[in-house]
A and B are shown apart, each in its own frame.
Chain A
C-alpha cells in the first residue's frame, strides 16, 4: 500500500449516520413496557427536609412508585463516598434530587412530580470556596470523617469543609524570594459552569428475573458504572451489564455515575421493569454535576532578567456539595501549578472545598483550564511589572527537557514536547510583532493576548485499555474496544492505526460503535484525552498479534518461515518472489487444502496496554508522576474593544499545540476549534449565577448563555510534532487542550485593551466598566 493512513483526513466512520439523523442515541429507545422516572429537585440550597409528602402524587394516573432518600441507604462517589442518590435528611444544593417519581409515561411522571410537597428548614449556606475554608463556616457535611475512601490518597479534614488537600514542596522558597528582584501577586476567581453537552444525561435500567442488571446509559465510564452498581447493590460484577451507544457530547460530565443509580433503584422498586430517566436541560444544569469553581492566589518572583525564581500558589477548589472527582482535579492543578514554566522553588497548597452549589465532576481540561487562567494572568502581570514584552517573558521561562515539573518529573523531549516552538509559531499566526495594542479610533482598540499551557493525565496508576480484532471470511476486520464514542472521532483514528499497521484498506475495518461491558474488552474510562494513546497502544499490540498468527499460518501454506513473508493489502507474499502469495481471505478463517484438510481457524488478535511507571503524589511534597507525557501548547486571542460601552468582539483565536504526530488533521483541527469555542464561552459569558440564598438563577439556556454561530471568531490552528515515543506513531492527546489557555489569552487581550486587570471570569462588559470605574478611568 503506497498511501499511509497516518496524517490523512479520514472521514469518521459514523459520519453518514450522524449527518442523516439516523444515528441512535440512548434516549431514542422506546418500548411499550418502559417506565419513566422524573426527578423532584430541591428548591433549597441547604436545609433539613422537614416534610416530604407524596400522598397526592402517588395516586395520580400512571404512577407506579415514588422513591425518596429513605428507601435506599447508599452513599456513592468515585473517590470518597459522600453522596446519597436521593437526599437523606438534608439537602446540600439547589437542584439536588430529593424524590423520584416512576410512572408509565414521562407525562404522567412529570404531572405527579409537581405534586410532591417538600418543606425545608433552611440552614446557613456556604457560598464560595473562600467562605468554605473559614473557621466557623457552616458545615456542608457533618460526618465527613465517617465517609468511606475509595482510594487511599484522599485527605479530608473532619469538622471542616475541606474534603482534600494537596501540597507541592519543591526547592527552597527563601532562596527563591532572595533571588527575586520583582515580585507580583494576583487573585483570581472562576465561578462554576456547566458542560452543556448537546445530549443531556440519561440512563435506563432493568433488573432481570435472574438478578442480572442491564443498564443503558449515555456515559463515558461504562466499566465504572458496572463497578459502582455491583458494589452498592451487592450484585456480582459479571451480572451487571452496561451498554453505551453513541454519546452526544460529554466533556467530562458523563464520567460521573449519577442517574444510573436512580434508574437501578427505580427498576428494583417496580419489580425489575425497565425504567428510563432522562434529564431535562434544566435538570442537566442544576441537578447533575458541573464544572469546578476556583479561587486562586499566585505570587511570582523573578530576577532582573525576568527569569522566574519562586512561585507560591494557593488554590481553593469549589467542588460543590459533593466531592465526586473534585479531589483528583485538585491533584491535577497542584501537579501542574506552574504552567509550562521552569521554576526551581515552588510552594503550592490546594484545598478541595465543599460549598452549597451544584456538585462538580470532570470537565474538559480536568482543572487545567482554571489553573491556566490564573497562571497566565500572573505572567502578564509580571511582564507589566518588569516592563517586558509578555511574549519575551514567556520565552525566557518555558520549561525544556532536562528540567523538572512541580511534582519533580524529569522532562525529556518525549515526555514534554517542544513548548518554545509552540509559542513562537502562535506568535507568528497572530502577528504578535505587529503590536499587541492598536488604537483604531477614539472609541475602538484592538488588542492581543497570549497564554501557554500544558496538561498531563491524572489517572489511577493501573488504568488500562484493551482491544480485540477479529477477521471476517472476506478478510475484513472487526475492531472492538471498550472506549466510548463521545465525539472526537476516536474510533476512526483507531481504525487508521489498525489499517496502517495491518496494511489493509480502512474501509475493510468495521468498528463496533457501542460498548457492552460483557463483550467489549475493559477500558478504564473515555476521559483525559488518553483514549487514542491507551487504546491505540492496545490496538497496535492486537494488530501485531494478528499479523503474527497470519504469518505463521501463511508460512505453513507457503512452506517457508514466517519471517520470509510480508503482509500487503489483501495478501501475504514471499519476500523474494511476490508472485508466491496467499490471499488473506483464504487464511483468516483457516486454510483449506484441495483435499479438504484444513489448518487454522478464525484469526483473533488481542492487545492490552497499561501505562507504566506511574505513581501517586506524595502527601507532603507532591512528588509523583500521574501521567505518561504532557501535551503542551500556546494560544493567542485578538479582540476589538469598544470604549463607549465596553462591548467587544473576539476577532481571532489561535492554538498551536505539540501533537506528537497528528493522526487525522481534519478531526484534530475540529477538536481544537471546538475546545477554543468552549473556552471562549467560559471566558465571555458562561457561569452559574447564584442569588443570596444560593438559588441557581440561570438553569435554562434562555439565561445560561453559550457562544452561538456568528459569535465565533476566526480560528487558527497549527501543530508542532515532537513524538511521544511510547504512543502509536508518536501521537499526543489533544481532545481537551484547545480550551486550556484560551480564556486566559482573552482576558490578557482585554486587560491590555482596557488598561485594567481582568482577573475573573467571565469577562462581561459590565466587569470591564466596573474595573475602570474603580480605577477612575
Chain B
C-alpha cells in the first residue's frame, strides 16, 4: 500500500503537461511524469520514493505514435514494451524489450519509462544507442531534438520539467543484421549480468552494453578495437575490454570478475556470429 496521498493529472498535450509540471513543481508538489507506473508504484509502496503528484502522459497523442514516416521510424515514448514487441517494426528493440521483466509487466512498462526510470539497466536504450537515434523532447522552452547518445551519457541528462515525447531513427537501421543476448544470474526473468545489443552496419559492428556497469553504454574505442579485422577475434575482444571506459558492476546479480568472464565469452561469440553472417 502506498503510504502517502498524491494528485493525478492526465494532460492531452505536451505543452499542457509541461505547464502542469512547472506549476506543481513551483507549488512544492515534487511532481513526476507517469508512464506505466511500474517503478513509481513499486518504489512508493516500499516508501523508497515519494511524490506529491503524477502527470500521466499516456493521453498525449504524440507519445503514442508508432509509424514509419519519411524514412524514419517514429516511436512514442508511452508505447509499451509489449506493443513494440508485437509491432516488431524494429526487431532488435522488440527483442531487447521482451527480455525486460515479465510478460505482465511488459504490457505496463513504457519505452520512456524504461529509459528514464531509476532502475539502472535500461535495456531498451541499447538499440537506440546503436542507431543514431534522436529524441524529441518537450520542455519549458517548447519542443527540441537531441541525440539519444548525448542524453543518456552516464546519467539521464534532462531538465526536471522535460520529458521525451518520441524517438526517431533512420529506417535503414531497422533491417540490419543484429544480435541481442542477455545473461542473468540464473533466472530468465531478472536483471542482466550482461546484455549486449549489436548491429552490423556494412562491415562495421556496433555494440552497446547493459549490466556491465551502472549505466548502459556504447564506446567508440571498444568498437574500433572490435572492428580491427586483421587481428584474431580473441585478441580484439581482449583489447576492447582493456579500453572499456567503465568500472565493472559488482552487485547481487554477480561479481565483477564473473561479469568479465561472461562479457568476454559473449562478446567473442557476438562478434564471431556477426562477422560470419551466421544470423
Q: Which residues of A contact B (CB under 8 A)?
A: 106-107, 110-111, 113-114, 280, 282, 644-645, 647, 684-685, 689, 697-698, 700, 702-703, 705, 708, 710-711, 762, 764-766, 769-770
Contact = CB atoms under 8 A, between A and B. Distances in A.
A307 B231 CA distance: 58
Contacts of A702: 42
Interface in B175-212: 183, 185-190
B185 A114 contact: no
Q: Label chain B's interface by main secondary structure.
A: loop
A769 B260 CA distance: 12
Contact of B3 (A111, A684, A765): A111
Interface in B88-111: 102
Contacts of A711: 187-188
Contact of A645 (B46, B47, B183): B183
Given A710-B188, A766-B185, A703 B252 contact: yes
Contacts of A697: 252
Contacts of B188: 708, 710-711
A117 to B, nearest CB: 14
Interface residues of B, number: 25
28 contacts: A106-B1, A107-B1, A107-B2, A110-B2, A110-B3, A111-B3, A114-B47, A280-B1, A645-B261, A645-B265, A684-B186, A685-B186, A685-B187, A689-B252, A697-B252, A698-B252, A702-B42, A703-B252, A705-B186, A705-B190, A708-B102, A708-B188, A708-B189, A710-B188, A764-B186, A765-B185, A765-B186, A769-B261
B262 interface: yes
Contacts of A644: 265, 269
Interface in B222-279: 252, 254-255, 258, 261-262, 265-266, 269
Contacts of A689: 252
Contacts of B187: 685, 705, 708, 711
Nearest to B102: A708
Q: Which of A114, A282, A645 has the most CB of B within 10 A?
A: A645
Contacts of B186: 647, 684-685, 705, 762, 764-765
Contacts of A110: 1-3
Interface in B49-105: 102
B254 A766 contact: yes
Interface of B: 1-4, 42, 45-47, 102, 183, 185-190, 252, 254-255, 258, 261-262, 265-266, 269
Contacts of A710: 188
A703 B185 CA distance: 11
A210 to B, nearest CB: 34
B88 to A, nearest CB: 22
Contacts of B252: 689, 697-698, 703
Contacts of A114: 3, 47
Q: Which 4 A-B pairs have the closest CB atoms?
A: A110-B3, A111-B3, A766-B258, A685-B186
Contacts of A700: 46
Contacts of A698: 252
Contacts of A762: 186
A578 B45 CA distance: 70
Given A114-B47, A705-B187, A766 B1 contact: no
A107 B1 CA distance: 6
Nearest to A763: B186
A107 B46 contact: no
Contacts of A703: 252
B259 to A, nearest CB: 9
Given A280-B1, A644-B269, A708-B189, 13 more contacts: A111-B3, A114-B47, A280-B45, A282-B46, A647-B183, A689-B252, A697-B252, A703-B252, A705-B186, A764-B186, A765-B185, A766-B258, A770-B258
A280 B45 CA distance: 10
Nearest to B266: A645
A766 B252 CA distance: 11
Contact of B262 (A113, A282, A645, A705): A645
Contacts of A766: 185, 254-255, 258
A394 B188 CA distance: 35
A111 B255 contact: no
Nearest to A113: B3
Nearest to A647: B183
A685 B253 CA distance: 11
A673 to B, nearest CB: 20
A766 B255 CA distance: 8
A765 B183 CA distance: 11
Contacts of B254: 766
A235 to B, nearest CB: 32
A765 B259 CA distance: 11
Contacts of A769: 258, 261
A713 to B, nearest CB: 14
Contacts of A708: 102, 187-189
Nearest to A691: B252
B240 to A, nearest CB: 18
A282 B48 CA distance: 13
A766 B184 CA distance: 10
Nearest to A765: B186
A620 B252 CA distance: 43
B271 to A, nearest CB: 15
A679 to B, nearest CB: 15
A689 B189 CA distance: 18
A456 to B, nearest CB: 33
Q: Which of B42, B102, B185 has the most CB of A within 10 A?
A: B185
A769 B255 CA distance: 11
Contacts of B47: 114
Contacts of A685: 185-187
Contacts of A647: 183, 186
A770 B190 CA distance: 21
A280 B265 CA distance: 41
Contacts of B102: 708
A697 B46 CA distance: 14
Nearest to A686: B186
Nearest to B261: A769
A282 B42 CA distance: 12
Contacts of B262: 645
Given A645-B265, A766-B255, A769-B261, A107 B3 contact: yes
A308 B131 CA distance: 66
A280 B3 CA distance: 13
A708 B102 CA distance: 10
A107 B258 CA distance: 43
B233 to A, nearest CB: 14
A710 B102 CA distance: 12
B46 A111 contact: no
Nearest to A112: B3
A287 to B, nearest CB: 14
A453 B255 CA distance: 35
A670 to B, nearest CB: 24
Nearest to A703: B252
Q: Which of A644, A711, A770 has the most CB of B within 10 A?
A: A644
A111 B4 CA distance: 6
Contacts of B185: 685, 764-766
B37 to A, nearest CB: 15
A710 B189 CA distance: 11
A110 B185 CA distance: 34
Contacts of B3: 107, 110-111, 113-114
Nearest to B42: A702
Nearest to A115: B3
B53 to A, nearest CB: 17
A282 B43 CA distance: 12
B223 to A, nearest CB: 23
B4 to A, nearest CB: 6
B65 to A, nearest CB: 31
Contacts of B258: 766, 769-770
A107 B3 CA distance: 6
